[in-house]
Structure 1
Amino acid sequence: MNKFLSFILTVTMMTFLSLTVSAQIPNAGFENWTGGNPDGWISNNVPGFIETITQSNNAHSGSYAVRGEVVNAFGVPFPPSLFAGDTTSGVVGFPISQRHASLTGYYQFQPIGGDAMLVSAAIYATSGQDTMVVGGGSEFLPATGSTYTQFSMPLFYSPGTPEPEYASIYFFLVDTSFTGQPHIGSAMLIDDLAFSGVVGIEDGSATVPDGIVLEQNYPNPFNPSTTIPFSLSRAQTVSLTVYDVQGRVVAKLIDREPRSAGAHVVNWHAGSLPSGVYFYRLEAGGFRQSRKMLLTR
């Protein structure tokens, strides 16, 4: 009987914690709407003129989901943009109190002409009068057709930073080259967002991966700073370099320096560099990998 009661209490507590984590994202199931926008979210709609973000009854669960579509705005493609958080309080984002391990949700994505769906999250903490990015994640989501698919985007944290206080979540549709506008008609559906798992303060640098991993930078797009996470399966010499679209080196973040096994993050401030696409490249032993990032002024 004691074991059975213990099991029931454990399941109850896990359910409570799961509900608490999910509830921290405002209107995570997109059930509540006001004035054409999901409550707790900010879109780039121009009421009466341009509506890229709309309510949809094609939901994963419940009654509604949010739909974003690239629309024709006076002959020019106008892509959707959706942001979770309150910008009126002086702090961008919504309150959180844990180092969540990942952001999950369900989506559909029907691209045209190779367009991409981008989800990005940034985690903030305050220090005096300043607000700093202490973690986040970013990921391109593949096309799904007309079927809801679950995504799980890992979140990374800079070591030695304060406990998180706020989070923001962004969804975009972008041109895959980042050099032009996405195509009219590309569309996404999003529903049932949640944070999953908790990362301990010591977990970031203690975890040793099976191989070398270069993650997507966060936030992305960014202005003017972003964070690049990577992991090493063993100690080795590393180079991390940023290039522009012409292949010119604009920053050497790590220049043939030793790094220990485990997770690492590198912050990059773009300074006075212009808006555009940049590439970051990690080299470690025989490993070579590059990823794109977008600076927007």
Structure 2
Amino acid sequence: MRKPILLFFAILTFSAYAQIPNPGFEDWPGLDPVSWTTSNIQGVVTCVTASSDAHSGTKAARGEIVTFSGNPWPPILHIPAGFPISHAYGELRGFYKLITSANIEMLVVVILMDAGGQPVAIQESELPPSASYQEFVLNLDYSLGSGNPPTTAQIQFNFSDGAGEPGTLGAFYLVDDLSFTGTGTGITEASLARIPLTVAPMPVMDATSVSFTLPAAMNVRMEVRDALGRHVEDLVNGSLSGGEHRIEWTPASDMADGVYFLSLRHAGITTNQRLVLARN
């Protein structure tokens, strides 16, 4: 358990703002830490465990690449459904170790969502190996967000894409003492100039249409991004006339099913819409 004085200070400091649940992974009664989900499978494979090698307190989360059915099994630690927040934080902070002889990094992803499930801020970082605890800081990017207040946060820890390469078995990370701090920059209040988007059909199978109305001729950019905020493709990038528009989107055949985000930017205003690709 954390020292009482630290807990009291946290209550005084963050009583108005919901924070990260079980941020030091001290509460770990069973297979997974309380409030978190892992890629552990009860009685089959265990890759995320409680470790006494903690930055503070008595526990940290330890994720190790293990073998399952003859293949590397990644140690995913996340809160996929998200958790409530009530402040537009500026940074995600924490402490980590990464022990590996292979050329891989530790992946950290954080997404803040508004009440409608649209992204408000996104950030990811690939952390290099470190034999001792180092602090990491992810500055949250609100530039492509909906502009609405965030109500939910999602956090994920894993290894970078190279975690399936030979020589990575036994690589492990330790993570501890997570916190949100500060206030995000570049946040704007929801604007009356934001342009509603209608996407149909949804979920997307083979193709879909995006309908919207521009009040006047203007330069716009409409792009598709994946769940980590990475650019997938531009649907529009140039001048459009005022009035009604319908843009067709046919996802590439090699795009994986899942959640994507559509953003329409004009005159410094961004509208975001969630897309669900479900071919199977």
Classify the TM-score, shorter chain.
0.5 to 0.7
Structure 1 253/174 Cα, relative in aligned 2: closer, same or farther at 3 Å?
same
Q: Which residue in 2 is equivalent to 1:271? A: 251
Q: Which residue in 1 is equivalent to 2:92? A: 103
Structure 1 62/175 Cα, relative in aligned 2: closer, same or farther at 3 Å?
same
Q: Which residue in 1 is equivalent to 2:269? A: none
Q: Which residue in 2 is equivalent to 1:133? A: 119
Q: CA deviation at 1:180?
A: 5.5
What SS is found at the alignment partner of 1:251?
Answer: strand
Q: Which residue in 2 is equivalent to 1:251? A: 233
Q: Distance in 1 between matches of 2:95 and 2:16?
A: 16
Q: Distance in 1 between matches of 2:164 and 2:250?
A: 18
Amino acid in structure 1 at the alignment position of 2:100: P
Q: Which residue in 2 is equivalent to 1:162? A: 148
Does the alignment pair 1:189 with 2:171? no
Alignment of 1:139-150 (within 5 A): 139-144=125-130, 146-150=131-135
Q: CA deviation at 1:198?
A: 1.0
Does the alignment pair 1:32 with 2:27? yes
Q: Distance in 1 between matches of 2:232 and 2:149?
A: 32
Conserved? CA contact 1:26–1:84, under 8 Å: no
Q: CA deviation at 1:49?
A: 1.3
Q: Distance in 2 between matches of 1:27 and 1:165?
A: 18
Q: Distance in 1 between matches of 2:29 and 2:35?
A: 10
1:10-55 per-residue CA deviation (whole Å, 9 max, x = no partner) reads xxxx976644488610100110013221111000101111001001
TM-score by length of 1: 0.59
Conserved? CA contact 2:64–2:170, under 8 Å: yes
Conserved? CA contact 2:100–2:129, under 8 Å: yes
Conserved? CA contact 1:104–1:194, under 8 Å: yes
TM-score by length of 2: 0.63
Alignment of 1:222-261 (within 5 A): 251-252=233-234
How large is the RMSD of aligned CA atoms in angstroms? 3.8
Q: Distance in 2 between matches of 1:179 and 1:76?
A: 8
Structure 1 173/159 Cα, relative in aligned 2: closer, same or farther at 3 Å?
closer
Q: Provide structure 2 residue ranges, at least 5 long, that are not aligned to the other structure.
A: 1-8, 189-203, 205-220, 225-230, 240-248, 257-276
1:116-150 per-residue CA deviation (whole Å, 9 max, x = no partner) reads 210001111123xxx21221211111111x20000
Q: CA deviation at 1:274?
A: 2.0
How many residue pairs match? The answer is: 208
Q: Provide structure 1 residue ranges, at least 5 long, that are not aligned to the other structure.
A: 1-13, 86-91, 206-223, 225-238, 243-248, 258-268, 277-295
Q: Which residue in 1 is equivalent to 2:51? A: 56
Q: Which residue in 1 is equivalent to 2:106? A: 117
Conserved? CA contact 1:110–1:188, under 8 Å: yes
Does the alignment pair 1:71 with 2:66? yes
Alignment of 1:3-14 (within 5 A): none
Q: CA deviation at 1:83?
A: 0.7
Q: CA deviation at 1:167?
A: 0.3
